[in-house]
């Protein structure tokens, strides 16, 4: 059995495929480093969802559409009491919700102003803590809720939670009661 000698002068490393490989690896590492930076920035945005059990929220923000939301806080009780003559029956939940919608609906500019006032009032009295419940309808993109959360995330005295829910859920709620200084909505 005779072995052939290899001639080394005829063998060359193909540089075309090596150059392609280097460029593919370069693109991979550039894209990976950009993606790592993006996910680290997004990690600052914490969106908790509360447990499905009765709870308390000092502020309820129900997102209605891209431009408006319903802001319910302690002033909602005063609004219901002040305009109770507009509600024909005390047990008419639909009339109560309609009244709150007429009086407590905000556009995006008014919502930003309320959120900045909330942060200022908390800065003045550090001992106050607020829980803000944000409800976003399923048909809206989640960015509608994240715009609100981005304004709340920097303050350690504001806790927030985000759940899915529509205005129709509030309209078909089991009860809307005023108990002292507490507005109870059972939805």
Determine the Cα–Cα distance for residues 96 and 21; give it in Å rounded to an integer: 67
Q: Which residue(s) pair with 182 in the sheet?
A: 179
The mean pLDDT of the chain is 76
Q: Choose the weakest-confidence range: 24-33, 43-52, 133-142, 174-183.
A: 43-52
Q: pTM of the entire structure?
A: 0.65
Smallest CA-to-CA distance from 80 within 177, 161, 170, 186 is with 177
Residue of higher predicted confidence among 46 and 175: 175
Q: How much is the pLDDT for 144?
A: 82
3-state secondary structure of 113: helix
Determine the Cα–Cα distance for residues 170 and 161; give it in Å rounded to an integer: 17
Determine the Cα–Cα distance for residues 134 and 122; give it in Å rounded to an integer: 19
pLDDT digits 0-9 by tens, 125-156 = 666 677 888 888 888 887 888 888 888 887 77
Residues 6+ apart with CB under 8 A from 140: 63, 65, 66
């Amino acid at each position: 059995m005779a072995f052939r000698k290899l001639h080394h002068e005829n063998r060359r490393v193909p540089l075309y495929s090596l150059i392609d490989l280097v460029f593919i690896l370069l693109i991979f590492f550039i894209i990976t480093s950009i993606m790592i930076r993006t996910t680290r920035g997004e990690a600052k945005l914490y969106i908790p969802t509360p447990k499905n059990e009765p709870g308390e929220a000092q502020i309820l923000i129900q997102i209605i559409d891209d431009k408006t939301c319903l802001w319910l806080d302690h002033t909602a009780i005063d609004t219901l009491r002040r305009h109770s003559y507009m509600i024909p029956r005390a047990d008419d939940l639909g009339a109560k919700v309609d009244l709150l919608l007429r009086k407590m609906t905000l556009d995006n500019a008014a919502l930003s102003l309320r959120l900045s006032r909330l942060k200022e009032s908390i800065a003045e009295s550090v001992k106050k803590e607020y829980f803000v419940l944000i409800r976003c309808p399923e048909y809206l993109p989640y960015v509608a809720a994240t715009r609100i959360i981005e304004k709340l995330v920097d303050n350690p005295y504001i806790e927030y939670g985000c759940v899915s829910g529509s205005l129709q859920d509030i309209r078909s709620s089991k009860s809307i009661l005023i108990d002292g200084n507490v507005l109870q909505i059972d939805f």
